[in-house]
Amino acid sequence: MSLFQKYRNDFPILDKNNIIYFDNAATTLKPKRVVDSFEKYYNNFNSNVHRSSHKLSAESTKIYENSRKNIADFINAESTDEIIFTKGTTEALNLISSSLIRSDLISEDESVLTTTLEHHANFVSWQQYGKIFGKNVHYYKNNNGIFNEDDFIKLIDKKTKVIAFTALTNVTGQVTDIGKIINSARNINKNIIIVIDGAQYVPHFKTDVRKYDIDFIAFSGHKMLGPMGTGVLYGKKNILKKLPPYMFGGEMIDSVTTEDTTFNIIPFKFETGTPDVAGFYGLSEAINYMNETGTDKIHERVKELTMYALEKLKTLDFLDLYGTLDENQHSIVSFNVKDIHPHDVSQFLNDSDGIAIRSGHHCAQPFHKELGIYSSCRASFNFYNTEEEIDTLYDALLKIRRWFK
Amino acid sequence: MKLEDLYGDVIIDYAKNTKFKKHIEHNHEAHGKNTSCGDEIELEFNLNGDIIKDISYTGHGCIISQASTAMLCEALKGKNINSALNIINEVIKMSRGETFDKKTVDSLEMFEDISTLPMRVKCFSLSWHTAEEKLTEVKENDES
């Protein structure tokens, strides 16, 4: 039995459904203790935060802010002021693109550079806010589904004020050399602002915002064993202070008159409305679980599984595989079965062997367009998956081939 | 819905049969797109008065959408707009799991259980919604 087989018991959903869950890039399964934290929160502490002075409110506020501290430590942020809670990566990326583009940090002759490998959240948000507020947005176009860091760096010049890119693409699982990009970008333009989509990266790699000198990184709780509806935008304090708020409402306010309003300090300037306290309590519990399991162990295990799957699927000549197809790929393997639509493949895998994969354009249409395909199948792994499950996928793909011949 | 029902021989045959998958001389066309997967379908109609003299499709999609579109062409060819709209209406009702007229739906009844697969209903119904929209538009223009 693999060392990791015992962790499967922590995920009751695996017991209840006879499934092979290879859709971890969409959302991971949740360990029981994360699910239990909801019950614990609502049965013991339920209250709004930062508002009332009664006992429950104090407890809730403590829980909420302790979660912030836990998350700040997880990515080695200097201070909890730099951790903004959002609904997910999408909201975090909308927040930062909207606020940066509306700020005076980007002038009209400067520009944002992003890539065609991005999830729509990190592509459409820059494109649209750029259009609305008259700021320039440029795009690095990938070559056959591969992110070439050198080609990307060549597009950076003194007028590039922001670079926004994924640290691990959700289509092929290619890991970006973020250290190389950040160093090169800073050499060209010392004050360039680095925005990273970390949705697929943070769950699998030790993320150290200070080591890499990252200005902003967005990620989601539900892709790292935490609850849906929780996300984080990390942002450097000195830049956050200069940015306008993203949403307006309660809690984010300093003082309001009919003439004008001044805003709360960071991070509260960017958080308004009643937050999902139970959700962030759960995310904090997910982080405890990952820390106790060992983030490096999780990383190694997922690496093993990814390589195992890649090597196995490479032997099937009726598959088109996408990405670097080497150790630069992590947690994700994307493919098409020749002449069979991805929806039919995923439906078949589900019906024949209970295998859950994703099919479609994975919210990355420009990426698929450059690959010359409309959509693809994506199998994505986490540490509770096994080699035997990958063998079943392999056998099922052979079955598909025979069935639709 | 069992694998054998969803991907049975008849459905696969319809999906692979190119009888209706071609361009024809036409006076009306309609474009449909499934935004969640990027599938696209182009329907061409050759209408003579209110009779669908000929109909064809082009585009790309999964077996469910291709088979469903081929069967749509077969079902609507030769019908007048009103009875075509009636068939479409019953088929869409079926795909939503509502009560429908089995006689009108005819052989398309083999897709009855598609309503239990919410992610695949869109694959199945794309061409039906596309045809409905176009034929309704033609009908309203004729009446005005």
| pLDDT of the residue at A5 | 77
* Tens digits of residue pLDDT in B55-102: 999 999 999 999 999 999 999 999 999 999 999 999 999 999 999 999
Q: Do A342 and B62 touch (CB under 8 A)?
A: yes
Rounded to 5 degrees, φ, ψ at B32 are: -125, 145
Q: Do B7 and A403 touch (CB under 8 A)?
A: yes
Q: Is B31 on the interface with A (CB under 8 A)?
A: no
Mean pLDDT of the A392-399 span: 98
| pLDDT of the residue at A1 | 52
What's the pLDDT band for A161 if we cut at 50, 70, 90? Answer: very high
Contact, A358 vs A223, CB < 8 A? no
What's the pLDDT band for A262 if we cut at 50, 70, 90? Answer: confident
Residues of chain B positioned with their CB less than 8 A from the CB of A405: none
Q: What number of CA atoms fall less than 13 Å from residue A144's CA on the CB side?
A: 6
| pLDDT of the residue at A6 | 83
Q: Tell me how many degrees the CA angle A176-A379-A313 measures, rounded to the nearest 5.
A: 95
CATH fold of B3-143: Sufe protein. Chain: A (3.90.1010)
Q: Do A404 and B12 touch (CB under 8 A)?
A: yes
Q: Which of A363, A370, A394, A400 is catalytic?
A: A363
In the residue annotation, A377 being an active-site residue is answered as: no
Comparing A159-168, A248-257, A299-308, the range with the smallest average pLDDT is A248-257
- Share the mean pLDDT of chain A: 94
- Share the mean pLDDT of chain B: 93
A235, β-bridge pairs: A216
**What share of chain A has pLDDT > 90, as a percent?**
83
Nearest CA in chain A to B12: A404
Q: Is B103 on the interface with A (CB under 8 A)?
A: no
| pLDDT of the residue at A160 | 97
Mean pLDDT of the A299-311 span: 98
Q: Do B37 and A404 touch (CB under 8 A)?
A: no
| pLDDT of the residue at A254 | 82
Q: Do B60 and A347 touch (CB under 8 A)?
A: no
Residues of chain A positioned with their CB less than 8 A from the CB of B2: 351
Pairing of the two strands A332-337 and A231-235: unpaired
Q: Is B99 on the interface with A (CB under 8 A)?
A: no
- pLDDT at residue B20 is higher than 90: yes
The residue assigned the tokens 């994975």 is A362
Nearest CA in chain A to B64: A344
In b/e form, how buried is each residue of B26-55, taking b as 16+ CB within 10 angstroms?
Answer: eeeebebebeebbbbbbbbbbbeeeebebb
| pLDDT of the residue at A3 | 66
